[in-house]
Chains A and B, each alone.
Chain A
């Protein structure tokens, strides 16, 4: 149980294009999903908190117009990197928050490697 998928796993795009990354909780409903960015050999940096049916909450320094987040259902959140540039190249990881029986745990997707040429 508690499986989270991400699609695509890897994407290469040209500078100036937009890229959409999907995050799905496969066997549980997640009212909250989180989006992280991870640079090589570094820890995860929280970008935003996504709540189903409401606007995402962005962390300080994260451009909300560049990183569009939509949480349309209890099992799907999407991150769109708009007008991507080489400096946006990174590993993007989502997580889904499962709260049941007093257990509050984030389950992580496998990540998406974005390369912007």
Chain B
């Protein structure tokens, strides 16, 4: 079955520290990959996406993600976290370009310590 896994439910980092949020998906072909961020009570904002080409993609707010086909992973990184980055982060995958349906991971809650 098609699935997306975010192994870390909750992560706490200190402000200024680096961040990596993990995402793995189950499927054979290369899907479309996305990271979204959600602040409390808000909708989702697109951070970045990968369709093809360079496997290291840059997004907004200083985030980047790297697609690793061999590991079926699309981990999100940021070199230096700001307090305003505290939010819920969702990895999502489109397995079928025909339907365009997004399959979401469970989400990772990021807490930033002063």
Q: Is the CB of A43 within 8 A of B32?
A: no
Chain A residues closer than 8 Å to B46, beta-carbon distance? 105, 107-108
- Produce 1/0 per residue, A86-117, CB < 8 A to B: 00000101010101001111111111010000
Interface residues on A, range: 20 to 34
Does any Cβ of B come within 8 Å of A75's Cβ?
Answer: no
A108 to B44, CA, bound (A): 6
Question: Main secondary structure on chain A at its contact with chain B?
Answer: strand
Closest to B88 in A: A41
Q: Count A-B contacts at CB 8 Å.
A: 54
Q: Is the CB of B49 within 8 A of A105?
A: yes
Q: Is the CB of B100 within 8 A of A104?
A: yes
**B52 to A: closest C-beta gap in Å:** 8
Q: Is the CB of A43 within 8 A of B41?
A: no
Chain B residues closer than 8 Å to A4, beta-carbon distance? 43
- Seen from chain B, the residues whose Cβ lies within 8 Å of a Cβ on chain A are 32, 34, 36, 41-46, 49, 51, 90, 94, 97, 99-102, 104-107, 109
- Seen from chain A, the residues whose Cβ lies within 8 Å of a Cβ on chain B are 4, 6, 32, 34, 41-44, 46, 49, 91, 93, 95, 97, 99, 102-111, 113
